[in-house]
Amino acid sequence: MNRMPVSLEIDVTAEAEAEGARRATGASVSAVEPAPRRPDPEVSAKVQRRHFSAEYRLRILKQAERCKKPGELGALLRREGLYSSLLTNWRRQREQGALVGMRARKRGPTPRRIAPRVKQLEAENARLQRKLQQADTIITVQKKVAEILGIPLRPLVNDETD
């Protein structure tokens, strides 16, 4: 029988922790010690957008300016989990003065300002609508009273209908 050289023989008990390896006793790895938990591969349904405060953005810009050696800026970006395009945008905002009062902007179209005259007209329209409803109620009551008392009402002359 041909035996392998001693230097090439594999000790099965030493490699028991390797994936797919067998133990000398035949016991599985999970029976001896619990297997490490794997991260859940499920992707969350709702993506959470990251928000950076103005203080954080300014602090990162200052740190980025202090990076002089090659690779320091990349290390900073990797450590913070940022993209270089964010630094570009933040620098542009700082130059335009937007970082001074930097606050989170709402997404979507900006609401249009309503002119004061429009507000005044809307308030007047609402007031007149209430008066019209009150007048309609009074007219309805007068018609019912006239019907109960047997007083005939003259029909309206104009084309308006009730």
**pLDDT tens column, 97-125:** 776 665 556 778 888 888 889 999 999 99
- pLDDT, position 24: 55
Task: Please say if the pLDDT value at position 35 is more than 70.
Answer: no
Token digits of residue 41: 């591969």
Pure H helices in the chain? 29-32, 54-66, 72-80, 84-95, 116-149
Token digits of residue 17: 């922790």
Tell me the HSE value of 119 on the side-chain side, using a 13 A CA sphere: 4
- pLDDT, position 53: 85
When comparing pLDDT for 110 and 30, which is higher?
110
- pLDDT, position 114: 82
Answer whether 84's CB lies under 8 Å from 76's CB: no
DSSP state of 158: S
Distances (CA, A) of 157 to 115, 143, 145, 153: 41, 17, 21, 12
Task: Please say if the pLDDT value at position 32 is more than 80.
Answer: no
Task: Please say if the pLDDT value at position 80 is more than 50.
Answer: yes
When comparing pLDDT for 141 and 108, which is higher?
141
Confidence tier at 134 by pLDDT (50, 70, 90):
very high
